[in-house]
Amino acid sequence: MGDPKSWTSEATDAELIAQWHGGDQRAATALVHRHAQALSRFAASLGERDGIDELVQDTFVRAFQSLDSFRADSSLRTWLFTICKRLVLDRKRSERRRRNQVELDEGHAVAEYDALDGMVAEEAAGRVERAVAKLTPLQREVFTLRVTEGMPYGEIAKVVESTEGACRVHYHNAMKLIKESLSDD
């Protein structure tokens, strides 16, 4: 199971940040090792497919460049997710500009996510993928942060810029829709 300690080791993140401020580059390396794969999962949940390594790298570079503005009232991982999400939105915006496309609506975003299903070899995995693809982008984001990252609603709310209560509702709606999809198949 990936990195189960992620939400109980904030003190260690804080210590590493302090070490990094003191000039210890190994602290930065440790933080990258701790959070990179979670950022990869998060980027994938946002529908990103290509250049995730570059995206993760850029996220860390931005983070270290503005570490002074990091508030310890949220977890470092939450903060990294918000930076990553901003970069993803920037990417999508510039991609859209490049293609001179109309504003992507939710339907487009779902289609974009759904298009990844060709990658899925296993039938069971394919069913899960299709079920998740039917969610709205917001439901999917909340759901994946809850399920794959084990995040508390308070942290999820910071990433999706919503409230804890709303995130709870999004999670349960998503779970209900996924169960329905899985039993329909």
Partner 1 sequence: MTECLNEDLRDLLPLLAHGSLPAAEAARLRAHVAACAACTAELASLESIRQVLAARAPQLDVSAIAMAVTAATSRGTPVLRVVPGDAPAVKPSTTTSTVAPRRSWVPRHSIAAAASILVVVSLSIPLLRPDASPDTAPLPMPTVAGPAVASPIDTPDVTTPDVVPAVAASEGLVVADGLSDLSDAALESLLMELETLEATVSAEPGSLRRPLVATPGGL
- In the complex, the residues that contact partner 1 under the rule CB under 8 A are 1-2, 4, 6-8, 24-26, 28-30, 32-33, 36-37, 40-41, 43-45, 51-54, 56-58, 60-61, 64-65, 116, 119, 124-125, 128-129, 132, 144, 146-150, 152, 168, 171-172, 175, 178-179, 182
To the nearest whole angstrom, how small is the minimum distance from the Cβ of residue 125 to partner 1? 5
Nearer to partner 1, 2 or 18 (CB): 2
Nearer to partner 1, 65 or 100 (CB): 65
To the nearest whole angstrom, how small is the minimum distance from the Cβ of residue 100 to partner 1? 26
User: By three-state DSSP, how is residue 8 classified?
Assistant: coil
Nearer to partner 1, 101 or 115 (CB): 115
DSSP string of 36-99? HHHHHHHHHHTT--S-HHHHHHHHHHHHHHTGGG--TTS-HHHHHHHHHHHHHHHHHHHHHHHH
Nearer to partner 1, 21 or 101 (CB): 21
Residue of 147, 114, 152, 108 lying closest to 130 (CA atoms):
114
Cβ atoms of 2 and 37 within 8 Å: the answer is: yes
Q: How far apart are alpha carbons 39 and 52 in whole angstroms?
A: 9
